[in-house]
Structure 1
């Protein structure tokens, strides 16, 4: 028993009893106009206001809150629509590319032009020699070299965003006059890890761990499906040694 309950007289209603009764009978004040007019509540301005005025005030606050939330949702929807259109244009250009260099160039142009970011890089992993000379945003490295330089960044299937170490940023975006400060890195996988797709910003806080990666994943999923056939087209066939001829 609380001290307040102990002070209450037998049969006397507590504040909690009254509140509970009103919750169970929300229509209690119907037909009680005189009672409503006599009830007053303190206001921030210092003057007393009626219960009806207080309800109107609360309804207006709720309306304003809902209006702000609606405006925010509409703004997010418009932003996502713009991202979708940019992503669609990028993917159509990638699909129409005739070789790996054109594919990487289309990505670089879209990321820097449409998306307004500072750099893009497509790094493919293979031990086989290519018949095509990598140019621009395209790099081709051995899987062991990529593992040595990027380490745990290659372990997951989802985009990794953050500032990264300087050695990692330099590996992803070499030969830059203005250094990249933050990165979004997406693995390119189908049955195996084919490479990475990286986007860079010169702003240190542009990409962070809490950043959404839906559209990056959307782009990387498409690239991952296109890469195996494109890479096979430009990989030199392995040299076959004639063991019988050598033995003779």
Structure 2
């Protein structure tokens, strides 16, 4: 039989959420109840009980290590971005210095292979003459519905695509070199690839992956669009 005293006790007992909220609202609670700090014991992962203060120190150390790790990661990313920016700047200068389409594309290939560690490079460009295609080593590009279905990300969404591609996609982009490619970056040149496609292939599976940033690749596509207009106008 439940007594009124038992009911009152159940009602008055705070739950974990209420205790947690109380301690947040009264951060100085243990200043006036320091005897509790010596009495409280918390389970440790090793199985040994530790005091609240020891546990707080442990938590702070773990948080500190996590913050240090994140900071180091941010510093490394910043350094890599700085190096990437420098390489991009030099490549832009060399592309601008080229006096012909072939010279510009030679400079592009040189930078992609030597500075950006590309294994295979394929250019698909629309509207070039047979002579220009032969001299530049580019493939003629005709964008139709079939091709949009094959490469929807660069041609329909207008975004670079990174990662492992289907065999049919690799065969179109890299022709007889497709078998060697493990990961790829496909860059639309101009709006939705109207100016062409640049495909950069790697023999490394994780060299290009769907999680990597594509800002640099988008900038490269915009740069090539302007440069191609300059060298193919007229």
**Where is the helix percentage greater, Structure 1 or Structure 2?**
2
Is residue 97 of structure 2 the alignment partner of residue 100 of structure 1? no
CA drift at 1:188? 1.0
Instruction: Supply the distance in 2 between the matched residues of 1:207 and 1:57 (Cα, whole angstroms).
Output: 39
Does the C-alpha gap of structure 1 residues 81 and 8 become closer, same or farther in structure 2, counting only changes over 3 Å? Answer: farther
1:190-238 Cα offsets, whole Å, 9 max, x none, are 59812111111123443333332111111111111222231114xxxxx
Match of 1:202 in 2: 203
Does the C-alpha gap of structure 1 residues 147 and 200 become closer, same or farther in structure 2, counting only changes over 3 Å? Answer: farther
Match of 2:138 in 1: 139
Instruction: Supply the distance in 2 between the matched residues of 1:189 and 1:212 (Cα, whole angstroms).
Output: 19
Question: Where in structure 2 are the equivalents of 1:55-94 lying within 5 Å?
Answer: 55-94=56-95
Match of 2:129 in 1: 129
Match of 1:30 in 2: 31
CA drift at 1:15? 3.6
Is residue 195 of structure 2 the alignment partner of residue 225 of structure 1? no
Instruction: Supply the distance in 1 between the matched residues of 2:92 and 2:228 (Cα, whole angstroms).
Output: 13
Match of 1:213 in 2: 214
* Bigger mean CA deviation after superposition, 91-100 or 32-41: 32-41
Does the C-alpha gap of structure 1 residues 149 and 87 become closer, same or farther in structure 2, counting only changes over 3 Å? Answer: farther
Contact 1:163/1:204 (8 A) holds in 2: yes
Instruction: Supply the distance in 1 between the matched residues of 2:192 and 2:59 (Cα, whole angstroms).
Output: 57
TM-score (norm 1): 0.78
* Bigger mean CA deviation after superposition, 98-107 or 15-24: 15-24
Q: Which runs of 5+ in 2 are unaligned?
A: 1-5
1:167-209 Cα offsets, whole Å, 9 max, x none, are 5434433454973233211111159812111111123443333
CA drift at 1:32? 3.0
Q: Which runs of 5+ in 1 are unaligned?
A: 1-5, 234-248
Aligned residues: 224
3-state DSSP class of the match of 1:185?
strand
Does the C-alpha gap of structure 1 residues 167 and 45 become closer, same or farther in structure 2, counting only changes over 3 Å? Answer: closer
Match of 1:240 in 2: none
Contact 1:150/1:168 (8 A) holds in 2: no
Larger radius of gyration: 1
Question: Where in structure 2 are the equivalents of 1:7-46 lying within 5 Å?
Answer: 9=9, 12-16=12-16, 17-46=18-47
CA RMSD of aligned residues (A): 2.8
3-state DSSP class of the match of 1:200?
strand
Contact 1:8/1:14 (8 A) holds in 2: no
TM-score (norm 2): 0.82
